[in-house]
Amino acid sequence: MQPCLAQVCSLSSPFEKNVEDYAAGACRAIEVWFTKLETYLASHSIADVLALCQEHGVSLPAASFQGGLLTSQGERRKEAWDLFGRRLRLCRELHIGTMVVACDIPAPLAQADVDRAQTSLVHIAAEADKLGLRVALEFQGRSAFGNNLQTAAAMVSEVGSPNLGICFDVFHFYTGPSKLEDLGYLTPANLFHVQLCDLADVPREFAADADRILPGDGDFQLEPILAHLRSIGYSAAISLELMNPQIWQIPPRQFGEIGMTALRKLLGQASMT
């Protein structure tokens, strides 16, 4: 498994600073936060991004996240799909193999919404296939539909495309209705990306993204998850993703060291410099 830091962990830091500072902490893989990348590209080129990553020995295995694709309608849907197309092209140009798409289906829920979401996933997979990319559907613990691993796996399976898989976010796994036995739905074929964090002293019913903390510092049972990932031979990126405003105050260079140490400890990997 490839330890990876998500840029959203240092939300106030610009794209180029993230790359430089995370690399200084021996991070070799970064999960891109799309809005940071797009801000950087407003005054830089694709070539600048590639050169920056090469200079610091960093790869960009995944990018997060795209929402609004599954059940939106009208102008909102057009805007979301236009943005999705632009971001897919960005991923291709920057050799980012996997884009994370949120399963953000709001209530109230009708059968038409479920059907629309499934049709959208077919189109998403087709667009990714055209560019030789993969899309990872991230189930959301608070979504009206697709809020658990079992349903997400069924949605992906129904599409039946090698370009559509699952983004497994441990926060949504534990704060939604998923169960440990649902891990059996993760396979080498459908698991495209993994995001880790932890949670402490917060009832899961009230947990928010801002409550995410370093993995290993909280109450989540992470070892059964890691054991299953090992059992299926998962070897792609395993990303630390924290949207905690308190963590955003930590200088990115310091966070890079802290984050990579936590990930490597959890994964049983020796420190690298």
Q: In this structure, is residue 132 part of a structural domain? A: yes
The domain of 88 spans 2-267
Tokens of 270: 């020796």
205 in a structural domain: yes
For residue 273, tell me if it sits in a domain: no
Domain count across the chain: 1
Write out pLDDT tens, residues 207-221.
Answer: 999 999 999 999 999
In a domain, 272, yes or no: no
Query: Within 10 Å of residue 13's Cβ, how many Cβ atoms?
Result: 21
Question: Which residues have a Cβ under 8 Å from the Cβ of 204 and sit 6 or more positions away?
Answer: 174, 175
- The answer to whether 182 and 150 have CB atoms below 8 angstroms apart is yes
pLDDT one-digit tens code per residue, 174-186? 999 999 999 999 9
Please state, as a whole number, how many other Cβ atoms lie within 10 Å of the Cβ of residue 272. Answer: 10
- Give per-residue pLDDT as tens, 92-115: 999 999 999 999 999 999 999 999
pTM, entire model: 0.95
For residue 83, the domain's CATH number is: 3.20.20.150
CA distances to 90, 173, 189 from 120, in Å: 21, 23, 21
